[in-house]
Amino acid sequence: MGKRIPKHIGAGENERVRVSVLKRRKSIEEYRGARIRNAVRSHQIAKPGLVAKGKMAGTKTQRLRPAKEYLINNLRREHLERKVNIRAKHIETAKLASPTDGSPVLLIRIRGNQDVSKPAKLLLEKYRLGKLHDAVIVTGTSEVARDAHILKDYVAAGQPTEEHVRELVKHMARYKDAKGTIHYLTGNSAVEQYLGQYGVICVEDVVDTLLRGAAAGPCFEPVSQWLLPFHLAPPAHQEKRDVERSLYTKREMLSKRSMAAFLAGAITRKNEEKGTEPV
């Protein structure tokens, strides 16, 4: 910025540097140090860890994004938001593929958080589908069918089979205890402790309740809400994220090696066999 540190004034032993000069020198040194630190932080993201040999451990270089990339991403987000608004506007005349007879419906998140419009984000939070590869089982009603049609770009919806529900509950079901700790469902004791008041006392009762849907009565909603969303992503050491890339775009898509992709394909084929348009 054109600032220079004042040189030493006076060479004799009895001559001293003025206080104002010392203060100015100190302020300029602090200014230069702060500028260097800010420059480093703007290009590197420091992760929690120890600082070794004067360098930030576990740093990741941040890519400088051109203005054109921001423009294209915003245009794509606006385009998806217009599609969501158009579907919501003409929902009364739309052909809904999701069942509305009270049978169970499996909702699977098939698109990441990139380019999610605000209306779609609110609906995704409503069904607890916050991440890619998440899935929930809900009751098939007209409201769920309309929301699934509106979220056509983000969610796959369809009726699961007994084999699918049993596999999800016995191998991927999770719940939160009273302290907020997440546990996998590994036995009947937790089911009896939290759902015994609704007549659900074992894992088989949970499976039967989810399969019956609205026919299970008032116990379906507590069971569905007690279970956390099923995370159907492949293991971390095996996962290679499928990303659509071009010059200025990058979108996280459903992994073909995940159970979410398998179930989404299964319920889509089931909708096509019924002669309906896949959601």
Q: What is the pTM of this model?
A: 0.65
**Which pLDDT does position 60 carry in this prediction?**
53
| Same domain? 124 vs 240 | yes
Residue 65 has pLDDT above 80, yes or no: no
Residues 29 and 126 in one domain: no
117, part of any domain: yes
**Residue 119 located in a structural domain:** yes
Q: What is the radius of gyration, based on Cα positions, of the chain? A: 28
Cβ contact 223:126 at 8 Å: no
Residue 242 inside a domain? The answer is: yes
CA quadruple 222, 226, 191, 204: dihedral, nearest 10: 70
Q: How far apart are CA 168 and CA 137, in angstroms?
A: 10
Q: Are residues 49 and 3 in the same domain?
A: yes
Per-residue pLDDT tens digits for 154-167: 888 888 888 889 98
Question: Domain residues for 162?
Answer: 68-173+228-273
pLDDT band at 62 (very low <50, low <70, confident <90, very high): low
One-letter amino acid of 92 = E
| pLDDT given at position 26 | 77
Number of domains observed in the structure of the chain: 2
What is the per-residue pLDDT for 230? 92
Q: CA 143, CA 157: separation in Å to the nearest integer?
A: 13
Summarize the confidence of residues 241-257 as an average pLDDT.
Answer: 54
Cβ(259)–Cβ(266) below 8 Å: no
Q: Are residues 11 and 91 in the same domain?
A: no
What CA–CA distance (Å, rounded) separates 230 from 171? 10
CA distance 117 to 127: 16
Top mean-pLDDT range of 57-61, 180-184, 257-261: 180-184
Contact between 82 and 120 under an 8 Å Cβ cutoff? The reply is no
pLDDT digits (tens, 9 = 90+) for 76-112: 888 888 888 888 888 887 777 777 788 899 999 988 8
At residue 45 the predicted structure's pLDDT band, cuts being 50, 70 and 90, is: very low
* Segment among 21-25, 179-183, 216-220, 268-272 with least mean pLDDT: 268-272
